[in-house]
Amino acid sequence: MIQTGFPTGGPTLGDVGERAVIRSIVEATPSAINGDDAAVLYWSSPNSRVVATTDMLVEGRHFRPDVTTPRRVGRKAIVQNFADVEAMGARPVAALLSLSAPKNLPVAVVEELAHGIGEEVEKYAAELVGGDVTSGDSLVMSVTAIGSLGGNRPALTLTGARSGQNLVAHGRIGYSAAGLALLESGRKIPEEFAPLVDAYQAPEITPGSGVIARSAGATSMTDNSDGMLHDLTLLAVRSGVQLDMDSAAVAPDDVLRQAGDFLGHDPWQWVCEGGEDHTLLGTLNADAPVGFRTIGTVSRPGPGDQPGVTIDGRAPHYGGGWESFA
């Protein structure tokens, strides 16, 4: 069943105060190292480096209460940050949460957010280890993710793609954008489109996929957060290469095509421009590792050409993506 909406009744943050709000978060996401001035992390690998990233979700900009639920916003906040850690070939180990919210926000909203965070970090054997709360005009979440990059192999950077490699992907492409389009359509959404709605409200990647790719010899990686072509173009430019995708490997599947027919929309636009799938996109010299699939090739740009992305050797019909200040 497709669920949307935020709780509206019960005690508010202003009613219970800061300590009670923090207590509700900690109870939903318990950690033995949370609660002091700072958390002390213990690395499982002696030969490891720290990976850190942070991202925000702003009400009305990154999520709307009428098209999702607090629990799913919490899950999404973790996935979008942990995906960045995975894209470096590292393992997420901890998260920090900063929360700004109006005083009249029901406590139940924060509790549900925290439960969603707890559900997602548990999948990675990670923990929420601290954070901060304050009052503000709207609901804003900032998550900082911390990861461990073990071994001597280089991290999977945007500059590591090389000519002759394969372009590989882990995860669905275009599902999140299609799910948002369905939710914003105002139409009753058929149950067969639930996977698309799920992909928007709470995208998923398989924990450890970035580590697997790095172990298999991947040299570059990013995640589809701002749009597949947008993110791959950045990787191509930073690496100075040409990425050519196989249209058959990235074509809209049956569910996307049916949703396109339902909304009267070209599903290829969701595939090319839609973000927030957090699909891992990388390059390596070998075949696609477990959980990945080959979607294209890497080559040197031709004489006079600039680094970029093509599909079947031609410029894509779509090329937009998410822009924070558009």
Write the CATH number for 56. Answer: 3.30.1330.10
**Domain residue limits at 306:** 166-311
Does residue 211 sit in the same domain as residue 184?
A: yes
Residue 251 lies in a domain: yes
Whether residues 39 and 121 fall in one domain: yes
Place of tokens 């027919």: 261
Domain boundary pick from 125, 150, 175: 150
Domain boundary among 150, 180, 214: 150
Helices (H), 135-193: 175-184
Mean local confidence (pLDDT), 270-286: 96
Boundary of a domain, candidates 150, 185, 207 = 150
Q: Which helix (DSSP H) or strand (DSSP E) does residue 219 occupy?
A: none
Q: State which amino acid sits at residue 57.
A: L
Give the model's pLDDT for residue 45: 65
In a domain, 194, yes or no: yes
**Is 113 inside any structural domain?**
yes
State residue 147's pLDDT score: 93
146 assigned to some structural domain: yes
126 within a domain of the structure (yes/no) = yes
pLDDT, tens digit, 9 for 90 and up, residues 184-209: 999 999 999 999 999 999 999 999 99
In a domain, 319, yes or no: no
Kindly indicate the confidence band of residue 11, based on its pLDDT and cuts at 50, 70 and 90: confident
- Is pLDDT at 83 greater than 80 in this prediction? yes
Question: How many domains is the chain built from?
Answer: 2
Q: Which two tokens stand for residue 86?
A: 């995975």
Residues 235 and 124 in one domain: no
Same domain, 208 and 238: yes
pLDDT of residue 208: 96
Residues with Cβ within 8 Å of 325's Cβ and at least 6 positions away in sequence, in order, are none
Confidence bin at 23 (pLDDT 50/70/90): confident
CATH of the domain at 184: 3.90.650.10
Encode pLDDT of 86-116 as tens digits: 999 999 999 999 999 999 999 999 999 999 9
Q: Which residues contact residue 60 at a Cβ distance below 8 angstroms, ignoring those fewer than 6 apart?
A: 138
Residues 54 and 140 in one domain: yes
322, part of any domain: no
- Structural element, H or E, at residue 46: none
Same-domain status, 238 and 145: no
The pLDDT tens digits for 310-325 are: 999 999 988 777 666 5
* 125 and 171, same domain (yes or no): no
Contact 145, 101 (CB under 8 A): no
Q: What pLDDT shows up at residue 281?
A: 98
In angstroms, rounded to a whole number, what is the distance separating the alpha carbons of residues 107 and 111?
Answer: 6
The verdict on 142 and 30 lying in the same domain is: yes
Mean pLDDT computed over 274-282: 96
Same domain? 188 vs 307: yes
Q: Is residue 293 part of a domain?
A: yes
Q: Is 279 helix (H, G, I), strand (E, B) or coil?
A: coil
